[in-house]
Amino acid sequence: MNGNISLMNGMHFAGTWETSARRASGEVVFFTGMTGYQEVLTDPSYAGQIIAFTYPLIGQYGLESDGSESTRIQVAGVLVQTLADAGAQSELKDWLEQEGIPVLSQVDVRALVHVLRDEGDQFGIMSAEKHESMVVPERYHLTEYVTTTSLILEGDGEKGHVVCLDFGVKSSMVGEIVKRGYRVTSVPYHTSKEIIETLRPDGILVSNGPGDPRDHLGQIEVIRELALSYPTLGICMGHQLLGLAFGCKIEKQTYGHRGSNHPVRNVKTNDVWMTSQNHGYVVERTSIEQSPLELLYENVNDHSVEGLIHPNASIFTTQFHPEASPGPTDAQSVFDRFDEMIQEGVNVYA
């Protein structure tokens, strides 16, 4: 049966339904990686979005038992050129069906991506009909759907205790800290400073998550006070929130960075890493000058801000995902630096 993805600008792209669920709405974005579809689908940062995979064949290597970043598929819908459905490789299609996720195949993803690159990520509707007009729903807080509702303890390491402010944390992010000998307690993103202090943390992780970081201005002062009290690492959304906490501004990108081939340069060492990324907002570069923070990483392609450091406190951030390992594992050393910062009590980047 044929279906359509209709965009806010009035354009339509036809496809063929692969699952029985046949309606979804959300921001339409694209992912450029050749692999990693399981991780992408379960990444809470993609919550509520319709994801278009640019690689022409998706699902070819099946699913991995430990490949998911959360307990369920987070995306609202999926657009592909071809969905693998032969033999064991049908695992992905079966999983999408079981989770009730609408999937359109045979979509001209190349043409769709050209539109998104020219006009930006935009609201869209997947359905059987073409939608000539649509009303974008009022912004809602996606974080409420992905944050933990209770304290979750992982690991029993003896090196220390890290408290994670969970804005939609990926399981592999917590896993990298546990691997380095720490206990990690994930708490709801709106947890008060007083409650976090009772957990006696040795370090703070401000996690990734979906949506606009400016939706969380009410939590900014708590984040700033925690960061000045404990060694702190912010990743993706966490990076943006720490930027806001110290006076930086946030701007929306035209079409975001979503893929596993983004080169990032450390401005202090000139080292370049290939990184995985997933974000539609960035710290406005010129605003760093009005804050106590300094630039640590920049994107080689567009020179956007990829990381910040506080010269007088144990605080640093990355816009990219160091836990994601797009092939090279260089960026995982970010967690080694966080470990050193906690153990030595100083900012090892300063």
Express each pLDDT in 206-257 by its tens digit. 999 999 999 999 999 999 999 999 999 999 999 999 999 999 999 999 999 9
Question: pLDDT tens for residues 264-286?
Answer: 999 999 999 999 999 999 999 99
Considering the chain, what is the average pLDDT of its residues? 94
SS3 category, 198 = helix
Active site residue 248: no
Question: pLDDT tens for residues 89-137?
Answer: 468 999 999 999 999 999 999 999 999 999 999 999 999 999 888 888 7
Q: Which pLDDT score is estimated for 325?
A: 80
pLDDT surpassing 70 at residue 333? yes
- Which entry of 257, 262, 310, 321 is annotated as an active-site residue? 321
CA atoms within 13 A on the CB side of 170: 29
Distances (CA, A) of 131 to 3, 6, 11, 17: 11, 6, 9, 17
Nearest to 204 by CA among 175, 226, 219: 226
Q: Which pLDDT score is estimated for 138?
A: 73
Q: Which pLDDT score is estimated for 87?
A: 54
Nearest to 127 by CA among 42, 29, 12, 40: 12
Q: Which pLDDT score is estimated for 274?
A: 96
What is the rounded CA–CA span in Å between residue 54 and residue 77?
15
- Which entry of 18, 27, 69, 323 is annotated as an active-site residue? 323
Q: What structural domains and CATH numbers belong to the chain?
A: 2-127 (3.50.30.20), 143-344 (3.40.50.880)
- Which entry of 216, 236, 257, 298 is annotated as an active-site residue? 236
Q: What percent of the chain lies above the pLDDT cut of 70?
A: 97
Q: Which pLDDT score is estimated for 350?
A: 60
Active site residue 323: yes
